[in-house]
């Protein structure tokens, strides 16, 4: 006999308690206790005729997975901004709506990017290690010096929601902001930032560089691009590890061309290139830019809002 209260939604990744509670109440959702892989998602959907799926990186659905989904699935919701873990175009071909949560992460990611800028410029990793070892030695006027943030020029690659939010914060620290993107932003969105039509033209002007574009394809930052930065520049990445040739970054850091780096993302997550952990001039965090209670709740709620819209026969709020 058919289920009297069929599951409408599969939550295939771990989500905050508040998000899980709403999903169960509103959609009779099945909420996994550990992140599911893609084929487990497909198998569950076939067995339970679910209409919506909320996935994560581990359950990223590629073409073969999407082709195997039952026709009941109407939406694949992402609780993050990025969708590089799935085949969006093929899902569209199959008539499945794909959504993301582009606004939920903006402010916290911008906060975190500034944390990386400040920590890399002011040698936060080194200072913290000194204190945990017990300090015990005063430093003189010429020792353990960082580089000042105020007055520096920050280059932003990608002037979307997050890039613009970082620019506002940087201007609050007295930084000059330059940026590059596919097209120039409106004067009101620029808020005094200077546009460069391509990355190569902008890099020589960047004393600090921060990436805010999607990953995928060839690395954006290679030996050539790092070489275009002025000597003593600081590099920050809270976007995607795939944007960076890590051999080139390591060489730039060890040669002294870069003063330091602040990194939250890596090419082979979660198995980070151990060379970076050995460098004193790198501030490292484990892909945590959105990791606040408020943001993670909002990410989940945004995904559920999109599910509700599709299942009610309305347009998705955040279609990809």
Task: Specify if 42 maps to a domain.
Answer: yes
**pTM score of the predicted model:** 0.90
Q: Could you tell me which of 283, 309, 250 has the C-alpha nearest to residue 125?
A: 283
Task: Specify if 207 maps to a domain.
Answer: yes
Q: Is 169 a catalytic residue?
A: no
Q: Is 63 a catalytic residue?
A: no
CATH code assigned at 62? 3.40.50.720
Query: Based on the domain organization, do 194 and 80 belong to the same domain?
Result: no
Which ranges of the chain does DSSP label H, i.e. alpha helix?
17-27, 38-48, 63-68, 88-93, 106-121, 124-132, 161-172, 187-190, 199-202, 223-228, 246-254, 274-277, 293-311
Q: Which helix (H) or strand (E) holds 233?
A: strand 233-237
Query: Which has the minimum average pLDDT: 85-89, 120-124, 165-169, 180-184?
Result: 85-89
d(CA 4, CA 9) in angstroms, rounded, equals 15
Number of independent structural domains in the chain: 2
**Tens digit of pLDDT for each residue in 37-59?**
999 999 999 999 899 999 998 99
Task: Specify if 186 maps to a domain.
Answer: yes
Catalytic residue among 122, 176, 267, 287: 287
Query: Based on the domain organization, do 94 and 201 belong to the same domain?
Result: no
**Tens digit of pLDDT for each residue in 156-197?**
999 999 999 999 999 999 999 999 999 999 999 999 999 999
| Cβ neighbours for 297, distance < 8 A, ≥ 6 positions apart | 16, 18, 19
Query: Based on the domain organization, do 71 and 117 belong to the same domain?
Result: no
pLDDT category of residue 269 using cuts at 50, 70 and 90? very high
Query: Based on the domain organization, do 111 and 227 belong to the same domain?
Result: yes
- Show contacts of 264-271: CB within 8 Å, 24+ apart: 264/112, 264/116, 264/237, 264/238, 264/288, 264/289, 265/237, 265/238, 265/239, 265/240, 265/241, 266/241, 267/241, 267/242, 268/241, 269/241
Query: Based on the domain organization, do 93 and 25 belong to the same domain?
Result: yes
Query: Based on the domain organization, do 179 and 300 belong to the same domain?
Result: no
Query: Based on the domain organization, do 72 and 113 belong to the same domain?
Result: no
| Cβ neighbours for 4, distance < 8 A, ≥ 6 positions apart | none
d(CA 27, CA 7) in angstroms, rounded, equals 7
**Alpha-carbon radius of gyration of the chain:** 22
pLDDT category of residue 5 using cuts at 50, 70 and 90? low
Task: Specify if 320 maps to a domain.
Answer: no
Query: Based on the domain organization, do 142 and 81 belong to the same domain?
Result: no
d(CA 7, CA 205) in angstroms, rounded, equals 55
pLDDT of 1: 37
Catalytic residue among 201, 269, 280, 294: 269
Alpha-carbon dihedral 198, 201, 203, 209, rounded to 10 degrees: -40
Catalytic residue among 13, 22, 240, 296: 240
Query: Based on the domain organization, do 150 and 99 belong to the same domain?
Result: no
pLDDT of 85: 85
Q: Is 240 a catalytic residue?
A: yes
Query: Based on the domain organization, do 83 and 34 belong to the same domain?
Result: yes
Task: Specify if 316 maps to a domain.
Answer: no
pLDDT category of residue 2 using cuts at 50, 70 and 90? very low
Task: Specify if 191 maps to a domain.
Answer: yes
Query: Based on the domain organization, do 26 and 159 belong to the same domain?
Result: no
Task: Specify if 156 maps to a domain.
Answer: yes
Does the structure show a pLDDT above 90 at 272? yes
State percent of the chain over pLDDT 90: 93
Query: Based on the domain organization, do 111 and 99 belong to the same domain?
Result: no
Task: Specify if 26 maps to a domain.
Answer: yes
Enclosing domain of residue 79: 9-104+293-311
pLDDT of 83: 85
In contact, 272 and 244? CB cutoff 8 Å? no
């Amino acid at each position: 006999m058919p289920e009297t209260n069929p599951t409408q939604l599969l939550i295939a990744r771990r989500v905050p308690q508040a998000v899980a509670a709403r999903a169960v109440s509103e959609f009779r959702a099945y909420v996994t206790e550990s992140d599911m892989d893609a084929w487990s998602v497909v198998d569950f959907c076939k067995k339970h005729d679910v209409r919506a799926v909320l996935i994560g990186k581990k359950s990223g659905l590629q073409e073969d997975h999407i082709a195997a989904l039952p026709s009941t699935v109407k939406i694949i919701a992402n609780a993050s901004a990025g969708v590089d873990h799935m085949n969006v175009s093929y899902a569209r071909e199959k008539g499945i709506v794909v959504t993301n949560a582009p606004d939920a992460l903006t402010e916290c990611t911008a906060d975190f990017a500034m944390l990386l800028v400040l920590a890399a410029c002011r040698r936060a990793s080194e200072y913290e290690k000194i204190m945990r070892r017990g300090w015990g030695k005063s430093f003189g006027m010429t020792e353990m010096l960082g580089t000042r943030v105020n007055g520096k020029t920050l280059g932003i690659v990608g002037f979307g929601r997050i890039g613009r939010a970082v620019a506002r914060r940087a201007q609050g620290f007295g930084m000059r902001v330059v940026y590059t993107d596919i097209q120039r932003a409106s004067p009101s969105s620029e808020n005094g930032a200077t546009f460069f039509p391509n990355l190569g033209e902008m890099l020589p002007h960047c004393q600090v560089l921060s990436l805010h574009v999607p990953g995928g394809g060839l690395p954006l930052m290679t030996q050539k691009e790092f070489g275009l930065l002025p000597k003593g520049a600081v590099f920050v990445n809270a976007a995607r590890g795939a944007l960076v040739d890590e051999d080139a970054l390591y060489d730039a850091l060890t040669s002294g061309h870069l003063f330091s780096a602040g990194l939250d993302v890596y090419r082979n997550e979660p198995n980070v290139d151990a060379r970076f952990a050995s460098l004193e001039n790198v501030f490292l965090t484990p892909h945590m830019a959105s990791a606040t209670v408020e943001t993670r709740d909002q990410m989940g709620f945004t995904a559920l809002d999109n599910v509700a819209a599709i299942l009610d026969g309305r347009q998705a709020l955040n279609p990809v």
